[in-house]
Chains A and B, each alone.
Chain A
């Protein structure tokens, strides 16, 4: 595999960012801006999950817990303290990273299936804590009352345009960082573990340590996505940490393709777009989504980008 040029990645993301930031200057569309804001949170969430699923071969069913944890941590700090948005966001991500380290320390030693179950169980435990600790989290009503002091680096986040710009920048920077990690020797090690854990172990890779790092990093970026989600919904809701949300991330990863870096981003965009379009025409969203998923699982048998690689092998590497 030839070395990835980090410069190329930076150029591509800079172009993407410029395009996204230029669109509102030409045409304002609240629906589109909403979509990009939600997509930036979801894209970080799904891509971070793919660091585990696609790169390391660790299927986590509980990734939503870090998304929700960070959203709650951020929203609570903004409501209960006088910290600025930047400090609260950074602290939320750091706390979430630490939480991921702790959860990972318990979970990563278990083999594939059991790893999936225990991450699900820990997530559901966290969800029950949110539901039952009403005095802190507002229980099943969620954390309401909005997020005050929405101002960072001159962005006035109560304006939709500023929130749009801010989310786009954060998401692109976050994805670039994840891209860098994926392409690094550490990322290569993770793929080696995925392909043949025994051999990686023989070569001197300490499996649990590499997996724990991957789990912690993935949790950190899911936390970053959670902060964006909290900004978008102006609070935090238990649904963010519930298991269907983890399921959404898994589908985004699967729909887009687990072996392509941008697969989860595409998958998240497809899922959100499908959601918006279908909800406009019918209340039976699940029926349509189910049929689409079946078509993918039985027809393509892989995500879109992976399918393109498979169908046009010459161009992909």
Chain B
């Protein structure tokens, strides 16, 4: 624990800007993953423990696409699209068979998928770390804002993620499809009785969730390294984000992802060894005081 370092950091604008940027990056990427997780839970009542695998595969697909096409835009799009497809396949082939059955069965299937794809990634891409590298257009000197270092690529990443958050929020609240999704989250039987094809709806929800996670993985690939098993840690964190924000709440996911991002950003200075512990403490306190999460509906 190093509270003096934390205090010193909080009083210098340079340190505040740098740590806030890194916190925002963590938070926004986490939001993209957690948004899919919480959307899937909200509509299908499935805790998708395989969501980290979507994130990992999205990164690897982007890495390979970049190798073939040399285009970052195509790489990111292919990561997202491939995971949308993967999400649908996963839902149709596996998860749809255990709807309504024991939570443990769903957990078991998801964990099996995690194990299988961690090893498949090792077979296809090798067990070693891969680095994707920043796009050449962004290999420029960083911006200095109030003395803090902000690489332009980070700023763009945060912007893209923020745009997606807005699009997702507006899409859910304003479009007809978004309204159907929200209705299905409240009462799927009634939505089905009103003539909505819920089978299709569920598949689309998984596709959207998969695409968001794949997108996050592809966007993160240039700033983090790729490795088999990278899905595990993001899964646990995005899981915490959804629990704190409220299972099923997109707004909650955004707020708590940013909170967790900031705890990560500044916690590494004040509590370098115990940042994870801080996050678990936050989660325990929230669960005790407000089990449904900050923005969740009480059940």
A183 interfacial contact with B, CB 8 Å: no
Contact status B277-A284, CB under 8 Å? no
Number of interface residues of B (CB under 8 A): 39
Contact status A59-B122, CB under 8 Å? no
A16 interfacial contact with B, CB 8 Å: no
Q: A132-B274, A284-B123 are in contact. Are A293 and B103 (CB under 8 A)?
A: no
Which chain B positions have C-beta within 8 A of A290? 111-116, 119
Which chain B positions have C-beta within 8 A of A251? 108, 111
- Cα separation A134 to B274 with both chains bound (whole Å): 11
Number of interface residues of A (CB under 8 A): 39
Which chain A positions have C-beta within 8 A of B5? none
- Give, as a whole number of angstroms, the nearest-CB distance from B164 to chain A: 26
Which chain B positions have C-beta within 8 A of A102? none
Interface 1/0 per residue, B245-288 and A, CB below 8 Å: 00100000000000000000000000001101100110110011
B131 interfacial contact with A, CB 8 Å: no
Interface 1/0 per residue, A243-270 and B, CB below 8 Å: 1000100110010001000000000000
Which chain B positions have C-beta within 8 A of A1? none
> Which of A113, A134, A297 interacts with B108 by CB under 8 Å?
A297
Contact status A294-B109, CB under 8 Å? yes
- Among listed A115-123, A154-162, A204-212, A220-228, interface-contacting one: A115-123
A163 interfacial contact with B, CB 8 Å: no
> Which of A112, A113, A297 interacts with B112 by CB under 8 Å?
A297
A272 interfacial contact with B, CB 8 Å: no
Chain A residue with the shortest CB-CB distance to B282: A121
- Cα separation A258 to B281 with both chains bound (whole Å): 31
Contact status A286-B287, CB under 8 Å? no
- Cα separation A247 to B108 with both chains bound (whole Å): 9
- Cα separation A123 to B118 with both chains bound (whole Å): 24
- Cα separation A122 to B285 with both chains bound (whole Å): 10
B94 interfacial contact with A, CB 8 Å: yes
Contact status A254-B243, CB under 8 Å? no
A111 interfacial contact with B, CB 8 Å: yes
Most buried by A among B47, B103, B107, B114: B107
List 16 interface pairs A-B (beta carbons < 8 Å), by A numbering: A59-B104, A113-B47, A113-B247, A114-B243, A118-B287, A251-B111, A254-B108, A258-B104, A284-B122, A287-B115, A293-B111, A293-B112, A293-B115, A294-B109, A296-B108, A298-B97
8 closest Cβ pairs, A-B complex: A128-B277, A290-B115, A290-B116, A286-B115, A132-B273, A287-B119, A293-B112, A125-B280
